[in-house]
Amino acid sequence: MKANDVLKALARQLTYIVPIVIAFLAIDLYIDKVHSQKKPVHVDLPAAPDFALPQVQPDGVLGAAWSLAAQRGTPVVVNFWASWCTACIDEKPYLDVLWGDRDKLSITVVGIATSDDLVSLHRTGRAKDGSFPVLFDADGAVARAFQVDQLPQTFVIAPDGRILFHVKGPVTDRNALGELRKMLSPEVVAVYGS
């Protein structure tokens, strides 16, 4: 076959292929345009039960009440734990990382000791200066309101007071900490502002 004949055959094939390629590109552009116009889906989240609990002071006595309602407008990480729970003790350094980033993330972190006694709670050393507040849920009413059936459990409360994220079990690795940080990112929190 001569070069001229090859060029003619190629030109004939291109007359069929080029319109098909153009049609696929047009469809792809249309799909991209439609997808980019979709609004984010707003998920209905359950309201966090409101509570006010006494804060455990570094000397082991109970101080003034700490209220979830007073935190409106700020994301809050609520961690339920007890002194007898070894997984709860193991996760404390990871929660301390979040506490250390509280200004950067614009969050509040609080621990709620439940199903515990004040003396054992004080022996853990968790209620100390420079750490996140520890609250005492003496009768377990707040834990029941959050439907906590095992310890530890951690909740991320959105600025508008709804439960944004829930970790059932310990936050004892970088992946779990990363998930909490993602849920506390300004982009996510902005969707659920006050």
Residue 21: pLDDT band (50, 70, 90) is low
Q: What is the pLDDT of residues 52-67, one digit of tens each?
A: 999 999 888 899 999 9
Q: What is the pLDDT of residues 4-15, one digit of tens each?
A: 776 777 677 767
Token pair, residue 177, equals 């900490």
**Mean pLDDT within 8-24:** 69
d(CA 43, CA 22): 39
* Contact of 45 with 158, CB cutoff 8 Å: yes
- Asked whether the bond before 152 is cis by omega within 30 degrees of 0, the reply is yes
- Residue type present at position 190: A
* Contact of 81 with 88, CB cutoff 8 Å: yes
The DSSP 8-state label assigned to residue 98 in this structure reads: H
- pLDDT of the residue at 64: 94
- Candidate from 57-61, 83-87, 155-159 with smallest mean pLDDT: 57-61
pLDDT of 50 strictly over 50 = yes
Categorise residue 14: left if φ over 0, alpha if ψ from -120 to 50, beta otherwise: alpha
- Asked whether the bond before 54 is cis by omega within 30 degrees of 0, the reply is no
Q: What is the pLDDT of residues 111-135, one digit of tens each?
A: 999 989 888 888 888 777 778 999 9
E-only strand ranges, the chain:
52-56, 62-67, 76-81, 108-114, 134-137, 153-157, 163-168
